[in-house]
Structure 1
Amino acid sequence: MTDLLYSETEDDLRAAVRSLLTDRADPSVLLGRIETGDPYVPGLWKALAGEMGAAGLLVPEKLGGQGASHREAAVVLEELGRAVTPAPYLTSAVVATETLLGLDTESAPVADLLAGLASGRRVAVLALPLSTAPDAAPHATERVNGVADAALADVFLVLRADGLHAVAADAAGVEPQTPLDLTRPLATVTTTGASGVRLADAQASTAAIRRGLLAGAGLLASEQLGLAEWCLEETVRHTRTRYQFNRPVGSFQALKHRMAQLWLEVVNARAAARAAADALATGSADAPLTVAVAQAYCAKVAVHAAEECVQLHGGIGMTWEHPAHLALKRAKSDQIALGSTGRHQDTIAALAGLPAPA
């Protein structure tokens, strides 16, 4: 039976990441950064990826990483989700890293790039729209809209007709877009005419990209779980201290029922997200199905939790100064990232042999 409980190592990792984010990326800092148009907190990625070693969790030790698994990476994403942290962890340390691990790691260009990503010295981003699903057929293109965290990348993984290429970011064109979620900036990336290092042929590249997207979708569920947990905890805290008619509003039966229902959804989301992380970590044959289940469920829970957080905070929940709106925007953005809920439900039906009604 799959063990979904957190290990002592995972608990220690969680405490370290949470402490770092509390010190350097609390809501007041984040809101201030967003108002400047640059949400990334200076020095945070260096501390998280390099000094803490979180960027190398999925990279084997012989390639310069930590040799951990998707379970540990999922814990990091839970904490990043709780704080709605602007950081290229999902895009670089998970999707791009897993894509490279799906190639020939004995190749010098692949090994060197993996070592750079593991140390936090480099940031790689797969030049595909954030909305690309794991089972999608990626197309070779030189101009891509909706690329997440492109502003921090120093190398883009670009799919061309002859395979996957590593293209230096300063050789590409990056045009910022205006996203719903201001904590995960999007951009249009143009690599027409930009030279790059070919990493693999077309067939191997497609398989590697699908591996990277599958890992990203599976661990995105952990980000959604962390976000939902924060929304529930913050809502409970607020309703305990907010009084009406000389009573905490959280004591009103209607509100208690709503929060209890949300707690049940979060518990179920935790099971789904942990199952997806474990399936990826163990290389389970059921990983595509487990990931699709996690995404189809956790995306909805995150959005519901964020909506309840905004509403049950009353007037303050609708203000810019309270971070509830950041959680809602991240949840809505994540709902279509790496495949929409409907896309994952279709995947579940196909994998489980459940044909759609005629």
Structure 2
Amino acid sequence: MSAVAAVGAFTDEQLELRKTVKALLAKHADPGAVRRATESENGYDAALWDLLCQQVGVAALAIPEEFGGIGASAVESHLVLEELGRTLAPTPMLGSVVLAAQSILASGDTDACERLLPGIAEGTSVAALCWTDESGSWDTTGAGVTAAASGAGFELTGSSHFVLDGSYADVLVVAATVDGAVALFEVDPAQDAVSRRRVPTMDTTRTLAVVEFAGATARLLTADGANALERVREIACVALSAEQVGAAAQSLELTVEYTKSRVQFGRPIGSFQALKHRMADLYFQVETARSASYGAVRSLADGAPSTGADAAVAKVYCSEALQAVAADSIQLHGGIAITWEHDAQMYFKRAHGSAQLFGQPRTYLKQMQSAAGLPA
């Protein structure tokens, strides 16, 4: 049974959306364009992002119509993210549209939604969620920033790490502790009390930043930040799994094509039975990861009670699948794959970088073991 059949076939409109995004990326996000984008000031191709937003409306898909969006389900965004993962095209999709926009929605602050979400939906504004401390735990009960009441608002002190798109975002949503509890705040990054810097990353296609606050003025979005972040983390894990499936599929395709052209002992290496078996195993991992990812997004779109568990499964399985496929791709390509000029190393680095986002796989495994009453 195919991954799509396992969770219900996509609609014609959803398939057309995937086709449109794939065609646009094929034209504007080839490997050379992706490399040039990573070397730009902000680490992404602003012209490509504008095309995706204005011609396709990718940033508006998961934002409700009342806040300037299209109001589609999570499935549509999932298909877009899968194609973005396939090309490794760096865009604000995961950081701004998934993390930040969904945290604003999860806060339940209607005023903030009305002010901030239309710009994000249009792609004219980029938002970033400042969540983790330097340990990178993505814990919903703590943060690296503290908030103190000041007049009619709050002042924030501390630093957030691993902030997707944080170095150039127009709006910051900040998780900060207030009297031991996590709350979410809106912060204008233009104020002098906010400093931010883009940091070097192993995966150059993912822009991360450190954002520091020195008494920055903030507006409270919700005092119940823990529950909002729990919801955002589920959405983020499902979205990330779509990227990982796309990247794993493309990494495998590149490997298969190489083994058809690389000749050894007078014949293509892909004709050797041992390598056929190995690539068949990789294909199995890609397709089972796709099933886990599609199952998770279907649960998310339907609001199923199993959404949290399905998101965790997708996070763990898709992270491990991409790492396995990318590692075998390096080996099957031989020495050329570890050179900077070859694309295989980019997928390898994306695999290991993505596995750390939103919590390491082993963290989710321990949670699932605990929930099932199994010994650690």
In the superposition, the TM-score normalised over structure 1's length comes to: 0.92
* Match in the other structure for 2:31: 27
AA aligned opposite 2:159: R
Question: Does the CA-based 8 Å contact 2:42-2:167 persist in structure 1?
Answer: no
Report the alpha carbon displacement of residue 192 of structure 1 after superposing the two structures with TM.
2.2
CA distances 1:153-198 after superposition (whole Å, capped 9, x unpaired): 1111012345322112222211222111111122110122222332
Any residues of structure 2 matched to 1:18-167 within 5 Å, and which? 18-35=22-39, 39-105=43-109, 107-129=110-132, 136-139=140-143, 141=145, 142-161=158-177, 163-167=183-187
Whole-angstrom CA distance in 1 between matches of 2:27 and 2:172: 31
Question: Does the CA-based 8 Å contact 1:4-1:274 persist in structure 2?
Answer: no
Q: Between the two proteins, what is the percent identity of the paired residues?
A: 35
* Match in the other structure for 1:224: 244
Question: Does the CA-based 8 Å contact 1:31-1:323 persist in structure 2?
Answer: no
Report the alpha carbon displacement of residue 137 of structure 1 after superposing the two structures with TM.
1.8
Report the alpha carbon displacement of residue 37 of structure 1 after superposing the two structures with TM.
6.5
- Runs of 4 or more, structure 1, over 6 Å off, are none
AA aligned opposite 1:159: A
AA aligned opposite 2:123: G
| Counterpart among 195, 198, 218 of residue 173 in structure 1 | 195
In the superposition, the TM-score normalised over structure 2's length comes to: 0.88
AA aligned opposite 1:48: L
Deviates more, 1:164-173 or 1:85-94: 164-173
* Match in the other structure for 1:189: 211
Query: Are 1:273 and 2:277 an aligned pair?
Result: no
| Counterpart among 324, 334, 357 of residue 344 in structure 2 | 324
Question: Does the CA-based 8 Å contact 2:127-2:173 persist in structure 1?
Answer: yes
Question: Does the CA-based 8 Å contact 2:59-2:121 persist in structure 1?
Answer: yes
Task: Tell me the SS of whatever aligns to 1:313.
Answer: helix
Q: Which runs of 5+ in 1 are unaligned?
A: none
Q: Which runs of 5+ in 2 are unaligned?
A: 146-157
Whole-angstrom CA distance in 2 between matches of 1:316 and 1:161: 48
Task: Tell me the SS of whatever aligns to 1:212.
Answer: helix
Deviates more, 1:340-349 or 1:29-38: 29-38
* Match in the other structure for 2:375: 356
Could you say if the C-alpha distance between residues 38 and 239 of structure 1 is closer, same or farther in structure 2, counting changes exceeding 3 Å?
A: farther
Could you say if the C-alpha distance between residues 338 and 15 of structure 1 is closer, same or farther in structure 2, counting changes exceeding 3 Å?
A: same
Query: Are 1:6 and 2:10 an aligned pair?
Result: yes
RMSD of aligned Cα (Å): 2.0
Report the alpha carbon displacement of residue 350 of structure 1 after superposing the two structures with TM.
2.8
Whole-angstrom CA distance in 2 between matches of 1:52 and 1:330: 25
Question: Does the CA-based 8 Å contact 1:14-1:79 persist in structure 2?
Answer: yes
